[in-house]
């Protein structure tokens, strides 16, 4: 998560993972690692609020339910120029196609 704590220089930041109404879901950790890691099972909007620092970055959260209001509020209040995310459980292929189309259509200078 240190990536988000230092005002990333990338224009677009893509968060890719699994999510639900609670937040971003994390893989299951072994007990010896779990006790040393600050986040277990889920990273919530409140967790992100503790360390996110952005500088007019475009944030695309490709995880399911990424558009819950608390997530959008945190990223926008911490400096994102916009926050884009699905408000349900899209097919993985549809999410990938959206991301590719977004980058192709809105950022042709990269191609």
What region does 65 belong to: left with phi over 0, alpha with psi -120 to 50, or beta? left
Extents of the domains making up the chain: 2-110
In the block, residue with structure tokens 């995310």: 85
pTM for this predicted structure: 0.85
Over 70: is that where the pLDDT of 109 sits? no
43 has pLDDT over 90: yes
pLDDT at residue number 36: 85
- Confidence (pLDDT) at 38: 85
For 70-100, what is each residue's pLDDT tens digit? Answer: 999 999 999 999 999 999 999 889 999 999 9
The CB density around residue 104, as the number of other CB atoms within 10 Å, is 11
């Amino acid at each position: 998560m240190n990536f988000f704590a230092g005002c990333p220089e990338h224009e677009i930041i893509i968060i890719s993972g699994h999510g639900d109404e609670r937040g971003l879901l994390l893989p299951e950790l072994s007990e010896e690692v779990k006790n040393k890691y600050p986040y277990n099972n889920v990273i919530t909007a409140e967790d992100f609020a503790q360390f996110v620092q952005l500088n007019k970055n475009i944030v695309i959260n490709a995880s399911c339910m990424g558009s819950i209001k608390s997530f959008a509020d945190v990223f926008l209040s911490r400096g994102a120029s916009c926050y884009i995310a699905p408000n349900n459980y899209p097919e993985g292929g549809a999410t990938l196609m959206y991301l590719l189309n977004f980058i192709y259509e809105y950022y042709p200078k990269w191609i």
